Structure 1
Amino acid sequence: MPSILKLLACLLIASNASAQEASWPQFRGPGGQGHATEEHAPLTWSETENIRFKTAIPGKGWSSPVVLGNQIWLTTAIETPPDPAELEQARAAIPNAETHQLAGELSLRAVCVDRTTGKLIHNIELIKVEQPNAIHPLNSYASPTPVIEPGRLYCNFGRYGTVCVNTDDHSIVWKKQFPIEHFVGPGSSPVLCDDKLVLTCDGADKQFIVAINKADGEKVWKVDRPAIRVKDPDMRKSYCTPLVVQHLGKKQIIIPGAQWIVAYAPADGSEIWRVDHGQGFSIVPRPVTDGMHVFCATGFAGVGMLAVRLGGSGDITGTHLEWKNHKKAPNQPSPILREGRLYTVNDQGVAQCLESATGEELWSKRLPGAYSASPLLIDERLYFFNREGLTTVLSTTGKKPEELASNQLDGQQMATPAVVDGELILRTDTHLYGIGK
């Protein structure tokens, strides 16, 4: 008996240590590029198979879960119905207004789920909005993914504000607001770079990048975006999450926006380089990098996918733009880069593999459904999550795509999942799932 008790104690200690070390701190994971190559995850699941917990989440939000230790955090918005007169007034000021949705009042919140038990343990109101602007039906008022680090959670709700939460005592540390006109709601997630939290503020009315001190929320620097040729406000907005890249020992923050892809110096926001990608706008996919190049989607009305060679300064459109691929590019899901291959799935469900050196298509495959969530690379497998709750798993080891599994859950799937300790933390429109053995 003592030996059995000792074994159980060791297993419990190992389990607790694993929970403390687990980390999926931002949108698309530790490197921000959707890689979980050191992880394992179930190949198959359903509502009755490999579900360790299923927890109802109040409100609506498309933000991804972030994980640190035993805590899983998400943002959500609890809406009250709008007044009909206010709805008509709001729609009158928005292009394509018939496609937008409006809430009467918003409670923007952060919720925490215990990773061991799956129980919802905290539900904190961060911001109350009495007259929110309308959003696109595919969006939510809580779409930007928060960032977590020991003791702090940084939640961004676009024009409605950015809030830092103490994850130990659940108090609000600071709030900051940079109002812009999104037209279709907030979308860009924040990113941490050294001691700064960097926000993309690419509105229809004004476009700028701002870095704030993560300790107190005070502005460190703010820079306007380059001038945009197009005057239509609807084609000046964008929603891309920054990517911090290390090149030749120095960091740069790369942020695509309408017409321009720009790299900024973290210290003061000075521009390192820029590329004119054309007429693209409303860019959502986060860039990826191999350390020598950055690969970007160029949004609606854009050229598709392109590759920029790092190392230049100033306007490098004519010198460092390596290739463009105009076909089957995503408007919402971010790409995946692995060993010289660039994998994408567009909103209509066409997955493709490009050679990263040339942009040449190696294969394409039609997947079921429509897509907003970004794919993940887990243990040499690609996981694609469609809006209808279906996950398709493909192998990356062959020259052609091999479908390994097709997994259906109830509900709508818009958020990109997290992966920790061999478990998928997956959010639908109603629930948070812990998918694992």
Structure 2
Amino acid sequence: MRRPLIDLRFFEAGLFLSRGLLALWVLAIGLLSTSQAQHNWPQFLGPEGNAYAQSTKLPVTIGEENIFWQTAIHGKGWSSPVIWNNDLWMTTATPDGHKLSVICVDKPSGKIVLDKLLFEVEKPSEIHDFNSYASPTPVLEDGKAWISFGSYGTACLAGRSGEVLWQRRDLPCEHFRGPGSSPILFENLLILHMDGFDFQYVVALDKETGQTVWKVDRQVEYGSENGDFKKAFCTPTIIQVNGQPQLISPTSKASLALDPRTGKELWRIRFKEFSATVRPVYGNGLVFINTGFGKAALHAVDPTGTGDVTETHVRWSAAKGIPSKPTHVLVDDLLFMVHDGGAATCFEATTGKQLWQERLGGNYTATPLYADGKLWFFSQEGKIKVLKASREFEELGESQLGDGFMASPAVSDDLMYLRSRTNLYQVGRKPSAN
């Protein structure tokens, strides 16, 4: 019997349909990925820890017409807002540090849905007036929030219910000037910096149980027995180098790269400054590391070395106009920053060439926000400046809002969430604006 002939037209039509469905599936996955990245802001400085927002609809000027809701936040806390789906989290504390609380806000309405006293501290250490007892930013994953107040306590909460799944209050560290490092997640680990007056170490906890997986003491020559010179406030960053993860972990007098799965040291650089605060930034094959408080320096480091790479892998350094607290923002080959005293600077990232430096006015702690070719700067006095992210200085807008910003902003679904000293704002472009 003869085999029936296949009509190639049907075959081609089916192939075309399959390719079309495949293309639609790929597009849908891409849109889902983009949407999720824009929807959630799960850690300090956003999804990638680099202060990037994907939105193209954020307002250049902010006034009453841009404020969709405003919610008063009690106490004193400089932790930045973080977001997962419709839950927005932050911490706060009584100014004296005796009561440490976590707050969850319903993102669409601004209503506080959880206000939980998490830890009570009988004898909190004194801190600098500039800091708060609730400065570390929470970190989120679906259905869970990890909250840290440094050595005063770390806990994992089951979402809005506020149920404490586990807590640790046995991680010693005399913060002295107050806690500042935010926790981060990597695979099954919650990683914390403890760089205090007395103890200096990195610890990785099992994120589901809170049990210690590894702990590594800092092996750093501080050059002094004065604990003030041993402190740091940095949030670490995970980068990928030749397919391998590195935990970039700045401390006082040095910055270390560790294997985040084990804590094993991979490389380090040394420097003379202490009390480092700025989160490391990675791009163009370089890690940008800020060295500390006061006369801070900036080092661009090639992370492919091993051991002490101070003399071999620092590609360029700068010491003029380098901030002590706000983190830098890397956009392609341009590195933007704002000094605590208000001078904004743009460097060519691969060469270290300074392209411009201009005064914005005011004082700054919050990290600038990048979106859609623009940079937003938020001052301690409540001034908001918007600049074009370019090789030439260009101011696009200026606004005034609230009583000043110590926390860095968050973005979700084309809306900004700005925490001032006393309020949380939902801010967006008014519907009639282009």
Q: TM-score, normalised by structure 1?
A: 0.87
Give distance in 1, aligned partners of 2:111 and 2:294. 44
Give distance in 2, aligned partners of 1:142 and 1:57. 12
- 1:80-125 per-residue CA deviation (whole Å, 9 max, x = no partner) reads xxxxxxxxxxxxxxxxxxxxxxx2x621111111111111111011
Is the contact made by 2:113 and 2:160 (CA closer than 8 Å) also made in structure 1? no
SS in 1 for 2:161: coil
* 1:25-40 matches, cutoff 5 A: 25-40=42-57
Give distance in 1, aligned partners of 2:416 and 2:134. 21
1:51 correspondence with 2:91: no
Given the alignment, which residue of 279, 285, 288 partners 1:286? 279
Range with greater deviation from structure 2 (36-45 or 179-188): 36-45
Give distance in 2, aligned partners of 1:385 and 1:373. 6
Call closer, same or farther: CA 1:74–1:280 in 2, change over 3 Å: same
Q: How many residues align?
A: 394
- 1:387-429 per-residue CA deviation (whole Å, 9 max, x = no partner) reads 01111000014x3111111111121210001011111100011
Unmatched 5+ stretches in structure 2 = 1-34
In structure 1, give the amino acid aligned to 2:108. Answer: T
Q: What's the counterpart of residue 11 of structure 1?
A: none
* 1:117-136 matches, cutoff 5 A: 117-136=109-128
Give distance in 2, aligned partners of 1:396 and 1:152. 35
1:76 correspondence with 2:92: yes
1:153 correspondence with 2:169: no
Compute the displacement of 1:206 (Å).
1.6
Give distance in 2, aligned partners of 1:117 and 1:406. 27
- 1:105-155 per-residue CA deviation (whole Å, 9 max, x = no partner) reads 621111111111111111011111121111111110000000011011011
Range with greater deviation from structure 2 (214-223 or 252-261): 252-261
In structure 2, give the amino acid aligned to 1:56. Answer: A
Q: What's the counterpart of residue 344 of structure 2?
A: 351
Give distance in 2, aligned partners of 1:299 and 1:365. 22
Q: What's the counterpart of residue 156 of structure 2?
A: 164
In structure 1, give the amino acid aligned to 2:372. Answer: D
Provide the identity percentage: 43
In structure 1, give the amino acid aligned to 2:426. Answer: G
Is the contact made by 2:286 and 2:302 (CA closer than 8 Å) also made in structure 1? yes
Q: TM-score, normalised by structure 2?
A: 0.88
Compute the displacement of 1:318 (Å).
1.4
Give distance in 1, aligned partners of 2:173 and 2:153. 10
Given the alignment, which residue of 394, 408, 411 partners 1:402? 394
Give distance in 1, aligned partners of 2:202 and 2:37. 34
Given the alignment, which residue of 312, 316, 331 partners 1:319? 312
Q: Which has the larger radius of gyration?
A: 2
Compute the displacement of 1:168 (Å).
4.7
In structure 1, give the amino acid aligned to 2:389. Answer: T
- Note the aligned Cα RMSD (angstroms): 1.6
Range with greater deviation from structure 2 (140-149 or 352-361): 352-361
Give distance in 2, aligned partners of 1:66 and 1:123. 15
Give distance in 1, aligned partners of 2:154 and 2:321. 34
- Runs of 4 or more, structure 1, over 4 Å off, are 18-21
Compute the displacement of 1:237 (Å).
0.4
Is the contact made by 1:287 and 1:297 (CA closer than 8 Å) also made in structure 2? yes
1:366 correspondence with 2:359: yes
* 1:214-225 matches, cutoff 5 A: 214-225=207-218
Q: What's the counterpart of residue 211 of structure 1?
A: 204
Compute the displacement of 1:291 (Å).
5.4
Q: What's the counterpart of residue 298 of structure 1?
A: 291
Give distance in 2, aligned partners of 1:314 and 1:166. 41
- 1:306-340 per-residue CA deviation (whole Å, 9 max, x = no partner) reads 10001111111111111110101000000000111
1:266 correspondence with 2:260: yes
Q: What's the counterpart of residue 238 of structure 2?
A: 244
SS in 1 for 2:151: helix
Q: What's the counterpart of residue 342 of structure 1?
A: 335
Given the alignment, which residue of 216, 236, 247 partners 1:253? 247
Give distance in 1, aligned partners of 2:389 and 2:199. 41
In structure 1, give the amino acid aligned to 2:49. Answer: G
Compute the displacement of 1:248 (Å).
1.0
Give distance in 1, aligned partners of 2:339 and 2:45. 17
- 1:229-283 per-residue CA deviation (whole Å, 9 max, x = no partner) reads 321211110000000101111111101111111011011100011111x211111
In structure 1, give the amino acid aligned to 2:83. Answer: V
Give distance in 2, aligned partners of 1:19 and 1:54. 25
Is the contact made by 1:336 and 1:342 (CA closer than 8 Å) also made in structure 2? yes
Is the contact made by 2:296 and 2:323 (CA closer than 8 Å) also made in structure 1? no
Is the contact made by 1:261 and 1:274 (CA closer than 8 Å) also made in structure 2? yes
Q: What's the counterpart of residue 414 of structure 1?
A: 406
Q: What's the counterpart of residue 24 of structure 2?
A: none
SS in 2 for 1:234: helix
In structure 1, give the amino acid aligned to 2:42. Answer: P
Give distance in 1, aligned partners of 2:245 and 2:267. 13
Is the contact made by 2:114 and 2:161 (CA closer than 8 Å) also made in structure 1? no
